Amino acid sequence: MAKILVIYYSKTGNTKKMAKAVGEGVKERGGEPDVVHVEDFGDIEKLLDYDGYIMGSPTYFGILAAPLKDFIDRSIKVYKKLDGRVGGAFASSGIQGGGNETTIHSITQALKVHGLIMPGFSGAGHYGPAAVGEPDEKIISESRQLGKSVTALAQKIS
């Protein structure tokens, strides 16, 4: 069973709603989700316990929030140990054109440096789900699909 970490930062609760939906998708695909607010994640070495990582953040100045960036910076402790695992990203913003795609890209850039493999999406949300304000049912559905896709890929690899 693929164990997937869904780690996120949320101040207003919008990104948290998406994270929960991502976790539901992981579970629906037969994976074991661990949905954790970034400030509640313990020892960074625990990253080695997972087959995949899905990160979510609100968009602040066109990039990910500082607490998630700090988490990524601290992940240097496991650098070169996550190669070939699976990843994905999602984001939320307050306005249309608020930087969701650049936030998703800033997360996936870091995941690529760790050697992660990530699925793309041919439908809406090509890079990952992106909510403007409170996530509606379409974004919740895309968030579940992200969880399913990352889990399916992790299952194939392991």
Residues 96-146 pLDDT 10s: 888 999 999 999 999 999 999 999 887 767 899 999 999 999 999 999 999
Q: What is the pLDDT of residue 82?
A: 97
| Share above pLDDT 90 across residues of the chain, in percent, rounded to a whole number | 91
Whole-prediction pTM value?
Answer: 0.96
DSSP character for 57?
E
Strands 63-64 and 52-60: antiparallel
| Partners of 90 in beta bridges | 56
In degrees to the nearest 10, what's the CA dihedral of 16, 22, 28, 33?
-80
Q: What is the pLDDT of residue 126?
A: 83
3-state secondary structure of 72: helix
The pLDDT of residue 39 is above 80: yes
The pLDDT of residue 4 is above 80: yes
User: Per CATH, the architecture of 3-157 is what?
Assistant: 3-Layer(aba) Sandwich (3.40)
3-state secondary structure of 82: coil
Interior/surface letters 19-30, b for 16+ CB within 10 angstroms, e for the rest = bbbbbbbbbebe
Half-sphere exposure of 113 toward its Cβ, with a 13 Å CA cutoff?
12
